[in-house]
Structure 1
Amino acid sequence: MILTVSTAVILLAGLLGGVLGATLGALSALGLAGVVIVGGELVELFVLDGTAVGLLATLGVDGAPVAVGPLSTVGLGPLLGPHVTFVGGVAAAAYAGRKETIDTGFRYHQAKQIRRPLFGRPWTMLVGGVFGVVGVLLGAVGSFLPVDPIAFAVVGSAFLARLTVGYPLLGRFDGGVLDMSPFENGAYWGDDGYETAEGIAGRHVVEPWQPEYYEWWIVALLGVAVGAAGAAVALLSESALLPFGLALVSLFGVVAGVRVEGYPLPVTYHIAFPAGVGALAIGGTLPVGILAGTAMGLTGAILGELSQRALYAHADTHVDPAFTSILLSSLLIAALGLAGVFDAGAVPYL
């Protein structure tokens, strides 16, 4: 990335976006990006004529999913994009959780608490800003790869934050990597033969990302249901970003602790996005698109669960399973595009 005036402005936006992510909390910042994306897509769908471009359209990440409306691109850009605000919020939580208790009601390690706003902690907010810039740079690198550059930046920066604050890269394993039975059995470090280490005594041996939704049959059900819905929305609106944005907006309900029939709202953006892309990239009739989108949604759900078991449940900080899933599913989508199964022109990473 050559340092020009425009580059400096983008890096400054990344700094401010990272601070914003720390201030609001990572999940709320991600929900805000969803509001902007949905608003932009709806404006384009119902108001504009499909030819508007404007200066705002230049603020996105090269290689990122193409936003139909200029306003949507702001939700993927260096000020509000997930690779900036969410990254800043995750890094700030990792830093703050290493130093203090930021939420006494949080059931897992404090460095995983990405719902909590961290306003009023200057050094923590600065860490968020620095990692916002890191997210911009990693997004630029990811634009040269056949993957979603935003997901690449989110996942890469999360590992970097984990190492920077002094935690193990992959966490502590006792038994199988995919084994959730210690959580089901109520096992804590220091009990039942599990040895303790500094800072982990009394914690769950395994900390599932979504405690109510990690069983494989539930994962598959969510994948099929959200995948089919995401595919339908994408086909009707001709936008893969609309179902993705709607799934992001639902994160406000997750942060607020909204429950339906006693269950919290699930995180589903890793299902909705590949479902939308797959539905649009397959071509053919509406039923074919929905079937392809449902298959990609199911794939995204399974990849998300595998990611949480391998990278989140045994670790100390938040490496987002959903964006890890999007990173992997985007690579699969790109491969299908290169193989001719998907329309390569409809795959945003090629």
Structure 2
Amino acid sequence: MSAVMAADVLAQGGWSAGSIDAVLEILLDPTIWLGAAAGGAFGAALGALPAFVFTGFLVIAGVFGGDAAGGVGVDVGFGPVFGPHISFAGGAAAAAYAAKKGDIESGFDYHNGKDITVALGSRPDILAVGAAFGVIGILLEQVLRNLAIPTDPIAFTVVASALLHRAVFGYSVIGVVSDKANGYMDMGPFEREEMREPGEVPGDGEKASEDRLAVEPWLPNMYKWSHVAAIGLAAGLAAAYAAIQTGSPFLGFGISAATLLFLNLGIGKIPVTHHMTLPAATAYLATAGTGYSPIAALVIAGIFGVLGALVGEAFQRVFYAHGDTHVDPPAASIAITHTFIAILSIVGILGSAVWVPGAV
């Protein structure tokens, strides 16, 4: 599947960019709403991370389906049932809700509202929360896409949905920085295993404030800047090579998402890389064939892999490490890096933005 075809896949069935009429058409289609509600409930039932792993497998299947399958797997993987803005976001919101109700005691080291690995089952109120945020997800994503806002509408929606669920369920939207930390970016209290002060933050189930770490990094084994940059470079170059072989920017993303199955199973030190592989592969395809040599295109892809990694780490230090629920650092990074790719395309530095709305 070529890069142009990949963009076409995301535009199938009325998913094209550019008009308010398209948004209104979506709003009047009950199948979209029902699909999004079901997808959000699916994410709540399975858990946000298992649902996202499922997205990864669908995307891989879609890429290798190629012309014969019409890229349907990619379309389904990013669509109104299994897309991350639906199932993952719905699952994250459901976890925040269940934790607020005191219904998650999974043994998670951090606040239980951050535990996106655990299945939440079939309780109607939890499924309803997932369904509601699935509907919110499709609405925001479609508005962004059809108004051609130059960013990744799915990734942007995942972040906006998470900030919304914090506000709706009474959590601090940004989080509370401990007095033991020297600002948002300081991971030192975690390294020293320092705990919160009594009453500094709300308790969590059986854990009081002083039973919680003063700083809770998103990935305890992957937060040092040098480590993050190194995996970003490796993942970015690997994704660019996959794009060379397939013509698709999405294979690296699908593989990155699928590998999180191992993380969900509790295997330590599994890196999270989809915010490195997707911008790197997109940057490669945006660069290759536009006057840059293949080596230069690969170098640019590697730079975007590193950029995606560092942006994700910076975001987690501000919004995740001091908060009580899961606000997704990779989604924030993907939205930011693809906005940058869109801007570079609009000003003519890159030949295209491949699939990013508003600059394709």
- Settle same-fold status: TM greater than 0.5: yes
The residue aligned with 2:57 is 35
With normalisation by structure 2, the TM-score equals 0.86
**CA offsets per residue over residues 47-106 of structure 1, 9 Å max, x none?**
x36xx65xxxxxxxxxxxxxxx12210100001111100010000001001111513420
Q: How does 1:1-350 map to 2 (within 5 A)?
A: 1-2=23-24, 7-44=29-66, 48=67, 53=70, 69-143=71-145, 144=147, 145-174=149-178, 175-190=182-197, 196-199=200-203, 200-259=209-268, 264-283=269-288, 284-344=292-352, 346-349=354-357, 350=359
What is the alpha-carbon distance in structure 1 between the residues aligned to residue 196 and residue 100 of structure 2? 18
Matching residue's letter, 1:162: R
Q: CA RMSD in A?
A: 1.6
Q: What percent of counterpart residues are identical?
A: 39
**Kept in 2: contact 1:14–1:132 (CA 8 A):** yes
CA positional deviation for 1:6: 6.2
**Kept in 2: contact 1:333–1:347 (CA 8 A):** no
CA positional deviation for 1:120: 2.8
The residue aligned with 1:59 is none
Give the direction of change, closer, same or farther, for the CA distance of 1:6–1:37 in structure 2 (3 Å limit). Answer: farther
**CA offsets per residue over residues 257-310 of structure 1, 9 Å max, x none?**
124xxxx21111000000110010012443222111101000000000000001
Structure 1 stretches lacking a partner, 5+ long: 54-68
What is the alpha-carbon distance in structure 2 between the residues aligned to residue 104 and residue 3 of structure 1? 42
With normalisation by structure 1, the TM-score equals 0.89
Bigger Cα displacement from structure 2, 1-10 vs 159-168: 1-10
What is the alpha-carbon distance in structure 1 between the residues aligned to residue 353 and residue 309 of structure 2? 25
**Kept in 2: contact 1:74–1:80 (CA 8 A):** yes
What is the alpha-carbon distance in structure 1 between the residues aligned to residue 307 and residue 201 of structure 2? 36
Bigger Cα displacement from structure 2, 117-126 vs 322-331: 117-126
**CA offsets per residue over residues 292-337 of structure 1, 9 Å max, x none?**
1101000000000000001100011111000000011011111111
What is the alpha-carbon distance in structure 2 between the residues aligned to residue 343 and residue 311 of structure 1? 34
What is the alpha-carbon distance in structure 2 between the residues aligned to residue 211 and residue 197 of structure 1? 21
